[in-house]
Each structure stands twice: as C-alpha cells, then as structure tokens.
Amino acid sequence: MAREQDPMLHRGIGMTSQRTRERLIQRLYEEGVSNAKVLEVIRRTPRHLFVDEALAHRAYEDTALPIGHNQTISQPYMVARMSELLLEAGPLDKVMEIGTGSGYQTAVLSQLVERVFSVERIKVLQDRAKERLVELNLRNVVFRWGDGWEGWPALAPYNGIIVTAVATDVPQALLDQLAPGGRLVIPVGAGEVQQLMLIIREEQGFSRRVLGAVRFVPLLNGPLA
Ligand code: SAH
C-alpha cells in the first residue's frame, strides 16, 4: 500500500517498536508456525490497536489479554496456528469466524482469504471490531450479531470455519455449513480440558484430527445486547 498513511503502519511506531514485533514473529516461527504468509500478515497487523491503550505496551507479547466483558483477545500463537491449519490444503474463498471479539483474528484472516463472515454474540465488542477493520481498510469482512452455535446458515456453505471460543461439543450447525472439503478448526472441551480439533468434510462423512491442549473462553449461548 503506497498511500501516504498506510493504516497498517500509522500510529504503531513509537508505541511498540518494530523490533518488538519482529521478536514475536521469531518466537512464533520457533514454536512451529511455518506458513510464511501467516507470519507476514501477523508482522504487519497492528495488534496494539485491538486492545485498550493501557495494555498496548503488551500487545506484542505472545499472550491473551483482556478486552472487557470477560473476554480476551486470542494469543498470537493460537491465531497463527489456527490460520495455518485452515490454509494447510490451499487458499480459501469463504471463511466463517465464530467469536469476533476484538476483531484481531478477523483482521488476520481477512488478509489471508477472499471473504470473512464473522459472528459474535456481544454487540458492543462487534461494533468496536467493525470500526477497527474499517480504520485498517480491511473491507472483505461482513459481520453478524448472533449465536455462533447456529453459524450463519443463509450464506453457507463455507470452505473454512474457525471458532475462537471453546465448545462443549462440535456444533452440528457448523458441520452442516461446511462445503465439501471444507475445514473446521475448533477448540472442544470444558474448563481446563480443551483440545484443538481440525475437522474436514470428506466425500463421505468427516475426518477429525486432535491437535493438542489449548485454553479458550467458553462458547456461550445466545446473542447479548
Ligand atoms: N478472536 C477473538 C477472540 C475473542 S474471545 C480475538 O482475538 O479478539 C471469544 C469470543 O467469542 C468473545 O468475543 C465471545 O463473546 C464470543 N462468543 C462466545 N460465545 C459465542 C457464541 N455463542 N456466538 C458468537 N460468539 C460467541
């Protein structure tokens, strides 16, 4: 982007040095994130704009941070890993995200796939996320205020679905909304016992891969004003 004010770069400098960001990328790489595109998108996405100013100095630590309403912005490693799993078999056109939250994962995804459909139950979080994406000129995202357990059936099917809150079971509606060959990345479990799963819609039925222990806030029920 050759505009005078590249929205991806303005404001960032000074607040958090380029070196801090580079250290995060190096760390993600060392922890096994190998998709160069994913690493590049994380490098250029200003995570400090997705948290309160008081926490901005910690935005490039590899950790989840509070965003209000008992929710957190996901850990950069999880954002990178889940994005990489979605993209493992090639580029994706339509991706649905459940749990917009701060909009950080949304912003990363929007730079990696054609179109993002993002569902969130807490209206105020989603409104703020929307503003951030407009500010960053990321326009290929549409938002729905609703219940992620139901997905977004009207616009289905999706080539990829990513859930950024832990579900007690895999929601049937999300399986139903996967296109043939479509991939669902979702943490499943409760409390301390949570596993990241990759579920793929095969010609016949679904294949499942368990990818290891994770820690997410719960996927709750129903929209909230
Ligand atoms: N990816 C977000 C993570 C936010 S935390 C980020 O990086 O900021 C998980 C989010 O899922 C919260 O915003 C929470 O409100 C939302 N959530 C929880 N249950 C939901 C449901 N049933 N439907 C939609 N969103 C839900």
Q: For residue 221, is it within any domain?
A: no
Cα dihedral across residues 80, 217, 196, 205: positive or negative: negative
Q: Give ligand 1 pocket residues (Cβ under 6 A).
A: 67, 71-74, 98-99, 101-102, 104-105, 119-122, 125, 147-149, 164-165, 217, 219-220
Beta strand 94-98 with 115-120: parallel, antiparallel or unpaired?
parallel
Q: Is the pLDDT of residue 4 over 60?
A: no
Four-CA torsion 215, 225, 140, 96, nearest 10 degrees: 50
pTM of the model: 0.93
Residue 209 sits in a domain of what CATH number?
Answer: 3.40.50.150
Q: For residue 185, is it within any domain?
A: yes
Task: Give pLDDT, residue 157.
Answer: 98
* Annotated catalytic residue within 74, 102, 110, 118: 74
**Mean pLDDT, the chain, integer:** 93
pLDDT digits 0-9 by tens, 27-45: 999 999 999 999 999 999 9
* Domain around 63: 3-213
207 has catalytic annotation:
no
Q: Among 122, 145, 177, which is best to mutate for testing ligand 1, by the most ligand atoms less than 8 A from CB? A: 122
Q: For residue 201, is it within any domain?
A: yes
Label residue 1 by pLDDT band (50, 70, 90). very low
pLDDT digits 0-9 by tens, 129-146: 999 999 999 999 999 999
Number of domains present in the structure of the chain = 1
pLDDT digits 0-9 by tens, 5-18: 455 554 544 556 78
pLDDT digits 0-9 by tens, 52-74: 999 999 999 999 999 999 999 99
